[in-house]
Amino acid sequence: MERNELGPRIFKLGLAALASVWLGAACGPIPDYRTLVEVDLHPPEFLGALARDSRRVVLRFDETVVALPKSVSLTPNVDIESVRGEDCELVVTLSSNQAVGTAYAIEASVEDTCGNSTSVITSFYGFNPDVPALLINEFITQGSTTHPDLVELLVLESGNTAGMCLYEGMPGNWDNRIVLPSIDVEAGDYLLVHFKPQGLAEEIDEVELTDLSGGLDASLAAYDLWVERGDGLSGNNGVLSLFRCPGGDIIDAVVYSNRTSDSDSNYGGFGSRDVYERVLELEPSGQWKRNGAHIAPEDAVDPDPSTATRSMCRGSNAGDSDSRADWHITPTSGSTFGEVNSDEVYVP
C-alpha cells in the first residue's frame, strides 16, 4: 500500500500558482512557475524484499529512500538493531538470526528526498546459508487423471532446502509455485513436486522420511511435496524455474513449447503474453541458451510427443548445458520419477 503525503499539497500549490498567472497576466510579464510543476510528486516504488544474510533484510526501491521513524517491524517479532538507507535499498539489521526458511512479514514506511512516502507490507523467507545444488531433472505437463503433472528435482550437492522456490513461471509472473520446506538432503536424493494434488489427507509433504506420503505417483524412494491448490502445468507452453528463495538467485530453469516463431506475430511466437513475459524475465540470467537475439520457441524443449507416461527428462548423467540439447522424451511408460533417468528415447 502506498500514500503520497507531500504530493497533494504541492499539486494544490501548483494550481494556485497557475491561477494567479492567468489573473495577473494583463499586469506584466508572466512569471516562470515551471519549477513548481516539475517537483517530484511520485512516491518510491517498492521492488522487492530479500534476506541478504542471517541478520540483514533488504527492501529495494526505485530511488533513494530513508525509513520513517519507528515504522519498521517484523512478524514473527524479531528485535531490530538498526535501519539505514543505502541508495535505493533500505537495510534492516536484526539483533538475532532469522529462522531458516521461515516466512516473515515485514512492514516499513519510507520517504524519498522530496518527502514523498510509501508504506509497504511484504514477506521474505529466513536466510538459508546451506542451500543445496538442485536440478530440474524430469517433468510431465501432459498429465492424466491417474498420472497428474509432476516435476522431479535431483540433488547434486548436499544441503537444506528450506525456503527454496520452484515456479511454474518466473518470480515476476507465475501460475503455481511451491516454497520448499526444510529437508536435509544428500547428493543423489530426489524431490517430487506434485503440481495437481487431489487434496487427499495422505498427500503429505515429506521432510524426514520418504515413505509417509500417499496419493497418485507418490514415491517410496523420493521426498514427495504437494503444491497447495495446484491446478497443474500448462501442457504445451511454459517455463519452470528454481530459485534459492522467492526473489533470490536463480538456480535452474527449463523452457518448453510446441510452437514456432511463425506461430504468432505477437509474443515472440509463444502465443501467450504470460509465457513471453516469463521468457524475457529469464533471458538475462543466462539459464537458457538462445540462438537469436531472444529466446524463441525453437530454442525450447518440444513437449508434443510427451504424454502422462512419456516424460521429458535429462540423460542419466544429469548434464546441464542450459539448452534443449539436455532433454529427451522417454518411451511410453518410461518415466523414472524418483530413480535414475532413462536414456531411452521415444521414437514415433
CA distance 256 to 241: 12
Pairing relationship of beta strands 223-226 and 190-194 according to DSSP bridges? parallel
For 68, 303, 328, the CA distances from 325, given in Å and listed in that order, are 52, 14, 8
Total residue length of the chain: 348
What pLDDT was estimated at residue 14? 42
Residues 285/253, Cβ–Cβ less than 8 Å? yes
User: Over the stretch 295-319, which tens digit does the pLDDT of each residue have?
Assistant: 999 999 999 999 999 999 999 999 9
The residue with greater pLDDT, 210 or 8, is: 210
Residues 213/204, Cβ–Cβ less than 8 Å? yes
Residues 163/179, Cβ–Cβ less than 8 Å? yes
- Side chain identity at residue 150, one-letter code: L
Cβ neighbours, 10 Å, residue 64: 14
The residue with greater pLDDT, 263 or 273, is: 273
Q: Is the pLDDT of residue 12 over 70?
A: no
Going 274 to 105 to 224 to 165, the CA torsion angle's sign is: positive
User: What pLDDT band is residue 339 in, cutting at 50, 70 and 90?
Assistant: very high
> At 64, phi and psi to the nearest 5?
-65, 135
Q: Is the pLDDT of residue 13 over 80?
A: no
Residues 146/321, Cβ–Cβ less than 8 Å? no
**Could you tell me the residue ranges of all domains in the chain?**
7-37, 46-125, 133-329
User: What pLDDT band is residue 269 in, cutting at 50, 70 and 90?
Assistant: very high
Taking the CA atoms of the chain, what radius of gyration do you get in angstroms?
A: 25
- Which cell numbers hold the place of 313? 527428462
The residue with greater pLDDT, 215 or 35, is: 215
CA distance 60 to 45: 9
User: Over the stretch 67-103, which tens digit does the pLDDT of each residue have?
Assistant: 999 999 999 999 999 999 999 999 999 999 999 999 9
- Side chain identity at residue 346, one-letter code: Y
Exposed/middle/buried for residue 117 (C-beta within 10 Å: 0-12, 13-18, 19+): buried
Cis link prior to 76 (omega < 30° from 0)?
yes
Beta strands in the chain (DSSP E): 46-51, 56-61, 66-67, 73-75, 80-86, 89-94, 103-111, 117-125, 133-140, 150-157, 159-160, 165-170, 173-179, 184-185, 190-194, 223-226, 237-243, 250-257, 312-314, 327-329
CA distance 11 to 196: 51
Q: Give the global pTM.
A: 0.86
Q: In this structure, which topology does domain 133-329 adopt according to CATH?
A: Immunoglobulin-like (2.60.40)
Q: Is the pLDDT of residue 237 over 90?
A: yes
Q: In this structure, which topology does domain 46-125 adopt according to CATH?
A: Immunoglobulin-like (2.60.40)
Residues 65/112, Cβ–Cβ less than 8 Å? yes
CA distance 41 to 5: 9
What pLDDT was estimated at residue 32? 57
The residue with greater pLDDT, 145 or 266, is: 145
Edge to edge, the sheet with strand 89-94 lists 46-51, 56-61, 89-94, 80-86
